Amino acid sequence: MKKAQTNSNRKNTSSVITSLKWYQDFARFVELQALPPRTRLSYLAWVRQLHAAFPRRHITKLKESEVLDFLIALRHERGLKDSTINQALCALRSLFRDHLGRDWEGWKSIKIRREEPLPNVLSREEVARFLASVREGRFRAVFTVMYHCGLRLGETIHLKPGHIDSARRVLRVVGGKGNKDREVPITDGLIARLRRFWKAHRNPEWMFPATGRGWKSAGRTLGQAMGRSERPMSDASVQAAMRATVISPGWDKRHGRRPVTCHTLRHCFATHLLDAGVSVRLVSEYLGHASLKPTLVYLHLTGVSESKAREILARFPAL
């Protein structure tokens, strides 16, 4: 009963804040920023949490010390990780500094060290076994493109047939992270496979269309359902297919060290290219990174640099 009352209170509080003019103004401000949808939702969620912490105060009139105390409480009272606190910091900085023009000194002095664990990477053989374990062909096709092209989940499900340039053998990513476009090389074999996959549903809009609800009861085939769909696959359906694959017998035991997710396939793409000797600059471009720094982490997961270092050291003059 208490839990039901708590959920009801949260809904009432949320409905109240969304009706406030300052919140609506900030929501419009966030919507106009070049931010991923999840980041926009995160910003608004953290602002709602700040409002809940000061229910009797007008948020736009909070002092710098009060906002900083809220961030400190996230660590010491709620025990949140630095990466989560950094999300809150970015959201509140967007509200007070970028939207309201409060360029407090605190924004410059706050330094939160985020945990950056090494990505989980499978070997080529493990990726092959994983793809072979995916039960449904449509999801196997999605995961194959993720791995072969190093795409994010959202980038993959929003691919369109026109994004594949078979003449130049490139796949064009439109509106990637940061709303940036890029091109990734694609093999003739994958082009042929995607062509066969598309011919099975012939959706004019999407390479990986959704099926919609009730397609079986309506007497349609999978191809017919996908061909009529106006929407791409949802990220939830792809993630569910990933979870169903990685919990299959034996797989979770082999890779219990860290969970295998959709993003793992992107990590594998980067690491395997670097392992084969492809330059960091090219891999960074393929991944759509804004700088080389996030790409350099994959060098810790490849044996190429270490083996070359040993070769060079072997040629050093002996004592």
Intra-chain end-to-end CA distance of the chain, in Å: 78
Contacts 24+ apart (CB under 8 A), 61-66: 62/96, 64/102, 64/104, 64/105, 64/106
pLDDT over threshold 90, residue 190:
yes
Measured in whole angstroms, the distance separating CA 220 from the mean position of its chain's CA atoms is 33
List of E strands, the chain: 164-165, 170-173, 182-185
Alpha-carbon distance of 156 to 160, in angstroms, equals: 9
**Tokens describing residue 267:** 């990590």
- Model confidence over 110-131: pLDDT tens digits? 777 666 667 788 888 889 989 9
Angle at 161 between CA 159 and CA 165, to 5 degrees: 100
Query: What pLDDT shows up at residue 101?
Result: 93
Residue of higher predicted confidence among 313 and 175: 175
With a pLDDT cut of 90, the percent of the chain lying above it is 52
Note the CATH architecture for domain 124-308.
Orthogonal Bundle (1.10)
Torsion of CA 154, 259, 127, 305, to 10 degrees: 100
- Under DSSP, the state recorded for 185 is E
Q: What is the second-level CATH architecture of the domain 9-109? A: Orthogonal Bundle (1.10)
Under the banding of pLDDT at 50, 70 and 90, the label for residue 318 is: low
pTM, entire model: 0.67
Q: Which residue has the tokens 């640099």?
A: 305
Give the pLDDT mean for 310-318: 58
User: Tens digits of per-residue pLDDT, 18-74?
Assistant: 888 999 999 999 998 877 788 899 999 999 999 999 988 888 899 999 999 999 999
Most confident of 29-38, 139-148, 291-300: 139-148
Segments of the chain assigned to CATH 1.10.443.10: 124-308
Q: Specify the domain boundaries for CATH 1.10.150.130 within the chain.
A: 9-109
Question: Can you read off the two tokens belonging to residue 316?
Answer: 């050093």
